[in-house]
């Protein structure tokens, strides 16, 4: 198997890193909004919402890319539990990458709010009616999901570093266009 066949395609790499950066930036935006006072808080959350919708669109693009481009196999040196954990975390990532933005949009819709896409256009609320209590509950779940996501990202980074530094199986280089991915 060639070095390129053991790593993700350039398109997958671009989607991965753009989405990863966007998710971390969006987490920091939400953290900053939590510590702000109105009306600044609302303005900061507007950016969080818009970036969340952009992450959703990028994730749909990434899934379409994944379904049309082969994914390299996991290194054969992984223990069964490591391969299971890797697959499970990736599935949860996709669930969160889709579920968090949709949940945020749904909660905003229940609160009667549209989503301003960085001043270019607005996304109207979903036709779900007003229910501030349900919106509040969903926002709570959204925040919890975001926290879970950050912990899983940390686990993902630690795993990639472990495989790269200690196992020397190419870990992080599978998602970069440089570096050696051993056969």
Could you tell me the domains of the chain?
4-173 (1.20.950)
Q: Which helix (H) or strand (E) holds 123?
A: strand 122-123
Quote the pLDDT of residue 171: 85
Instruction: For residues 130-142, give the mean pLDDT.
Output: 98
Share of the chain above pLDDT 90, in %: 88
Q: How confident is the model at residue 2 (pLDDT cuts 50, 70, 90)?
A: low
Instruction: For residues 131-155, give the mean pLDDT.
Output: 97
Q: Is residue 3's pLDDT more than 70?
A: no
When the pLDDT of each residue in the chain is averaged and rounded to a whole number, the result is: 94
Tens digits of residue pLDDT in 60-84:
999 999 999 989 998 888 999 999 9
- Measured between alpha carbons, how far is 172 from 166 in angstroms, rounded to an integer? 12
Quote the pLDDT of residue 4: 58
Tens digits of residue pLDDT in 95-108:
999 999 999 999 99
DSSP codes, 6-39: GS--HHHHHHHHHHHHHHHHHHHHHHHHHTPPTT
Note whether 129 and 110 are within 8 A (CB): yes
Q: How confident is the model at residue 46 (pLDDT cuts 50, 70, 90)?
A: very high
């Amino acid at each position: 198997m060639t070095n390129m066949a053991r790593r993700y395609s350039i398109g997958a790499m671009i989607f991965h890193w753009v989405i990863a950066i966007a998710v971390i930036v969006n987490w920091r935006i939400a953290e900053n909004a939590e510590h702000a006072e109105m009306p600044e808080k609302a303005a900061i959350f507007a950016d969080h919402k818009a970036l969340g919708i952009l992450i959703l669109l990028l994730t749909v693009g990434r899934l379409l890319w994944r379904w049309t481009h082969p994914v390299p196999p996991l290194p054969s040196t992984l223990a069964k539990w490591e391969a299971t954990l890797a697959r499970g975390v990736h599935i949860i990532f996709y669930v969160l990458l889709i579920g968090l933005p949709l949940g945020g949009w749904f909660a905003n819709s229940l609160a009667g709010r549209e989503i301003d896409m960085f001043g270019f256009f607005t996304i109207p609320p979903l036709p779900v009616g007003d229910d501030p209590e349900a919106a509040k509950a969903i926002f709570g779940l959204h925040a919890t999901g975001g926290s879970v996501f950050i912990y899983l990202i940390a686990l993902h980074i630690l795993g990639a570093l472990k495989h790269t530094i200690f196992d020397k199986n190419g870990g992080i280089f599978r998602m970069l266009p440089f570096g050696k991915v051993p056969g």
